Amino acid sequence: MQTMFPVIAILTLMTACATTHAQPATSFTPGKVWPDDKGVHINAHGGGVLYHEGTYYWFGEHKIAGRTGNSAQVGVGVYSSTDLYNWKNEGIALKVVDEQGHDIQRGCILERPKVIYNKTTGKFVMWFHLELKGQGYASARTGVAVADNVTGPYTFIESMRPHAGVWPVNAGDAAKPSKDIDGTWAADRERSIALGSYLRRDFEGGQMSRDMTLFVDDDGKAYHITSSEENRTLHISLLSDDYLSFTDHYVRIFPGGANEAPAICKHNGKYYMITSGLTGWAPNPARSAVADNILGPWKSTGNPARGVNPANGLGPEKTFGGQSTFLLPVHGKPGAFIAMFDVWTPQNPIDGRYIWLPAEFEDGNIIVRYREQWDLSVFDRVNAGD
């Protein structure tokens, strides 16, 4: 009996271990709790994914429980995966700091971090939307950080309002203060904004930058795409060769279109964009656009969402309850892109969910069909042979 005890104890322990460790996931279940390698819901909101040397790295806002979690109390989290279903928590890539007055002081708002790799410098470059602590959403800045290793630590470099003293290359009449245009302000505020009143207002101090994403083209040139001019007009800017600063080359896209949450991908030589409208944390109808050139002109192609999320009854009118975040190219599967959306829960942001769905290309448009459960074999059928 005495000799049997350790054997039974070990067997019991083994059984307990086997039942507490979940089986690896083999599919996506949009909107559900998504456990990481430790069984904890993934904490990488408003994020983006970088594929590097055989592994995907998912960077996102690390939220905490309760309304305080809507400001940055920790920093940017990073997870790794080789199959896109199962993610390992790699810790905090960029930490907020406790120094009073620092740009990324704990309590600032740090959103939508994206990381790209610069093949020439060998550095990983992170850009993110930054609002200085205590100023709500008034600062409207973009910030940049750099690292030698993909998971960090990332070193904060600076934050800014880009393009101070520089007109967009397609500014046209928007660069010309005109009594006629500015005179429409009171009568037709939105028209005046579309015609450049905020662009001109911010010319000297630099343009506003809120929701943003990054895109690296086949030629290695990187672009910063952001919601500017009080979220009314998107700006697409060419970054410097080292990706650490802005060049003077930028364009206005959809003036007065009121787009945020931009996500971009390239498929068969065309650029596709998904954005949202402006309703804060609440979902609204997504929009899509297509272009032959990243700097435009862009053509609006309507609402990309199809179907209904049965968990909340929401369809295209509310983007299934989510908001666009990123278009993730699946490595080794040409034409395969995952459209990533966030389901925000501002009353308890740590519980925010993720809706990942396959992007499909139909008649020159990007569309996203709701699926309750799916796996990467979907791409053997949709976009196959594109």
In the complex, which residues of this chain contact ligand DGJ (CB under 6 A)?
46, 111-112, 211, 260-261, 280-281, 323
Give the nearest distance from C-beta 71 to ligand DGJ in angstroms.
11
Alpha helices in the chain (DSSP H): 4-20, 179-182, 189-194, 197-201
CA–CA dist 8, 128 (Å, integer): 53
Report the C-alpha dihedral over residues 198, 237, 296, 189, rounded to 10 degrees: -10
Give the nearest distance from C-beta 171 to ligand DGJ in angstroms.
26
Q: In terms of CB distance, is 85 or 281 closer to ligand DGJ?
A: 281
Give the nearest distance from C-beta 211 to ligand DGJ in angstroms.
5
Q: In terms of CB distance, is 30 or 46 closer to ligand DGJ?
A: 46
Give the nearest distance from C-beta 253 to ligand DGJ in angstroms.
17
CA–CA dist 248, 162 (Å, integer): 9
Q: In terms of CB distance, is 103 or 111 closer to ligand DGJ?
A: 111
Give the nearest distance from C-beta 258 to ligand DGJ in angstroms.
12
Q: In terms of CB distance, is 196 or 352 closer to ligand DGJ?
A: 352
Q: Is 91 exposed, middle or buried (0-12, 13-18, 19+ CB in 10 A)?
A: middle
Give the nearest distance from C-beta 359 to ligand DGJ in angstroms.
19
Q: In terms of CB distance, is 197 or 276 closer to ligand DGJ?
A: 276
CA distances from 274 to 111, 128, 170, 290 (A): 18, 18, 22, 9
Most distant CA atoms of the chain, gap in Å: 97
Q: In terms of CB distance, is 134 or 280 closer to ligand DGJ?
A: 280
CB 298 within 8 A of CB 291: yes
CB 125 within 8 A of CB 107: no
